[in-house]
Amino acid sequence: MEPSRSNTTAVPRLPTILVVDDELGYRDGIRRILRGRGFQAQAAGSGDEALALIAQARYPIVLVDLKMPGMDGFELIRRIRELRPDTLCIVVSAFATVESAVQTTKMGAFDFVVKPFVPEDLMVVVNRAAEKWTLSQEADRLRAEREAHLLELAAEKGRLRTIIQAMGDGVLVVNIDGNIVLDNPVARRLLHSVQIPSLSGRLDSAIDDPRLSETVRRLLSGGGEEVGAILEIHLPSTEARAERFLRATVTSARDAQGQTLGVVVILSDITDAKALERAKTLFVSLVAHELKAPVGAVEGYLRMMADGSLDGQADRLKQIAGRCLERTGALLCLIQDLLEITRRDASRKERLLEPLDLKSICQRLLEFHRPEAERGNITITCEAPATLPPLHADRNDIERMITNILSNAIKYNRPGGSITVQLRATPSVITFQCSDSGIGMSPDERARIGEEFFRAKNSKTRSITGTGLGMSLVKKIVENYNGALEVESTPDVGSTFRILLPVNGDEGSPS
Partner 1 sequence: MSDNKRILVVDDDIDIVEQVSAALTADGYDVIAGTSQEEGEDLLLSHKPDLAILDLMMEQMDSGFMLCHQLKRLHPETPVIILTAVTATTGISFASRDPESRAWIKADLLLDKPVRTEFLRHQVRRLLHEAARVAET
Q: Where along the sequence are the contacts to partner 1 (CB under 8 A)? A: 285-286, 288-289, 292-293, 295-301, 303-304, 309, 320, 323, 327, 457-459, 462-463
Bridge-based pairing state of the strands 379-383 and 418-425: parallel
In which element (H, E) is residue 171 found?
A: strand 170-175
Neighbours of 476 (CB within 10 A): 19
Residue 6 or 458: the one with the smaller Cβ distance to partner 1 is 458
Backbone torsions φ then ψ of 114, nearest 5 degrees: -95, 130
- Paired with 112 in beta bridges are 91
Residue 13 or 457: the one with the smaller Cβ distance to partner 1 is 457
Residue 416 region by backbone torsions, left for phi larger than 0, else alpha for psi between -120 and 50, else beta: left
Distance CA 101, CA 104 (A): 5
Residue type, 20: V
Least distance from C-beta 297 to partner 1, angstroms?
4
Q: For residue 265, give the 3-state DSSP assignment.
A: strand
Q: Using N-to-C axis directions, what is the helix angle for 24-36 and 119-166, rounded to 10°?
A: 60
Residue 327 or 392: the one with the smaller Cβ distance to partner 1 is 327
Residue 202 or 278: the one with the smaller Cβ distance to partner 1 is 278
Distance CA 207, CA 141 (A): 50
Residue 245 or 301: the one with the smaller Cβ distance to partner 1 is 301
Least distance from C-beta 323 to partner 1, angstroms?
6
Residue 309 or 490: the one with the smaller Cβ distance to partner 1 is 309
Residue 351 or 455: the one with the smaller Cβ distance to partner 1 is 455
Residue 270 or 305: the one with the smaller Cβ distance to partner 1 is 305
| Contact of 251 with 212, CB cutoff 8 Å | no
Distance CA 190, CA 235 (A): 10
Least distance from C-beta 445 to partner 1, angstroms?
10
Least distance from C-beta 489 to partner 1, angstroms?
17
Least distance from C-beta 322 to partner 1, angstroms?
11
497 Cβ partners below 8 Å, 6+ apart? 405, 408, 409, 433, 434, 435, 474, 485, 486, 487
| Contact of 485 with 450, CB cutoff 8 Å | yes
| Contact of 187 with 171, CB cutoff 8 Å | yes
How far, CA to CA in Å, does 453 sit from each of 297, 346, 410? 18, 19, 19
Least distance from C-beta 326 to partner 1, angstroms?
9
Residue 387 or 463: the one with the smaller Cβ distance to partner 1 is 463
Backbone torsions φ then ψ of 63, nearest 5 degrees: -95, 125
Least distance from C-beta 303 to partner 1, angstroms?
6
Least distance from C-beta 458 to partner 1, angstroms?
5
Least distance from C-beta 464 to partner 1, angstroms?
11
Question: Distance of alpha carbon 78 from its chain centroid, rounded?
Answer: 64
